[in-house]
Chain A
Amino acid sequence: MAHSLIDHASALLLGAGLVLWFWGTWPLLGTHSYLRKLHALSVADTLGSLLMLLGLLLRIPGQWPLLTLALLGLVVWNTIFGYVLAACSLPPRPHPATEQDSAP
């Protein structure tokens, strides 16, 4: 009983992570401002992947050292990489979009 509950919870987490992946990666195809794409990517790649890793952790608790390391690496690296991408792309565009953007 408890086993199937854990299975369901892990499936739910994995599915939610996949939804965030799609939501956050889709804007890459559009013509929004660069920084806006970065915001969306941080949702997809950091938070979506975090949910997926938690789902995997529920599925195989025996491998926790490995998954914890992956979790730590993912969160720290992706976040800092988002910052570096944002900061490095800045000089050629001194004033990135401050206009109001209303997507459908």
Chain B
Amino acid sequence: MRRLLPLLLSTAFRLALWCLLTSDLSQLNLLIGLVVALLLPRARSRPLPVRVLLKATLRGLLAIPQAFAEALRLVMAPAMVEREDSEPATDRALPLLVFLDVFRITLTPFTIVLGLEDGGRRYRIHTLTPASKEDSEP
């Protein structure tokens, strides 16, 4: 079952995209979509930890309203500070998890991932934050 899960998930994802693109739920169209989804090449599948994956996806979704709040603060800010930072990576074994992390961090306007450092254990992050009072009046 654990071996089969990545296959199921990726096929379902591709089928959903197909249905959105064609916006047609007739049986023939679903069949064509299923064939296409199964025939497209896929990455080497390995067991996916579902709970971790769900958690990462949820955090990625939560980043969207947070991104809007940060954008508002940036628009209002009179001055900004740039600096470099780093954050520990959760798991570098699974490319999908790294992708979700990079997506979550880069989506918010305060931070952009510059790459992995320290042998892949930390993300190198560039941040741009509104200057606080002490920063702007030295």
Q: List 30 A-B contacts (CB under 8 A).
A: A20-B71, A20-B75, A23-B75, A33-B82, A36-B80, A38-B112, A39-B110, A39-B112, A39-B126, A43-B74, A43-B75, A43-B109, A47-B68, A47-B71, A47-B109, A65-B20, A66-B23, A69-B21, A79-B103, A80-B102, A83-B102, A83-B106, A86-B106, A97-B82, A100-B135, A101-B79, A101-B80, A102-B131, A103-B79, A104-B78
| Separation of A34 and B123 alpha carbons in the complex (Å) | 19
In the assembled complex, how far is the CB of residue B120 from the closest CB belonging to chain A, in whole angstroms?
A: 14
Contact in complex: A101, B82 (CB < 8 Å):
yes
Check if A56 is an interface residue, CB within 8 A of chain B.
no
In the assembled complex, how far is the CB of residue A26 from the closest CB belonging to chain B, in whole angstroms?
A: 11
| Separation of A103 and B130 alpha carbons in the complex (Å) | 11
Contact in complex: B128, A39 (CB < 8 Å):
yes
Interfacial chain A residues near B112, Cβ < 8 Å: 35, 38-39, 42, 82-83, 86
Q: A33-B82, A47-B109 are in contact. Are A66 and B20 (CB under 8 A)?
A: yes
Check if B136 is an interface residue, CB within 8 A of chain A.
yes
In the assembled complex, how far is the CB of residue B78 from the closest CB belonging to chain A, in whole angstroms?
A: 8
Contact in complex: B106, A79 (CB < 8 Å):
yes
Where the two chains meet, the residues of B that have a C-beta atom closer than 8 Å to any C-beta of A are: 17, 19-21, 23, 64, 67-68, 71, 74-75, 78-84, 99, 102-103, 106-107, 109-110, 112-115, 126, 128, 131, 135-136
**Which of B75, B83, B106 has the largest number of chain A CB atoms within 10 A?**
B106
- Give the contact-size bracket for chain A: 35 or more
Q: Mark A39-72, 1 if CB is under 8 A from B, else 0.
A: 1101100110010000000000000011011001
Q: How many A-B residue pairs have CB under 8 A?
A: 94
Chain A interface SS verdict (over half): helix
In the assembled complex, how far is the CB of residue A96 from the closest CB belonging to chain B, in whole angstroms?
A: 7
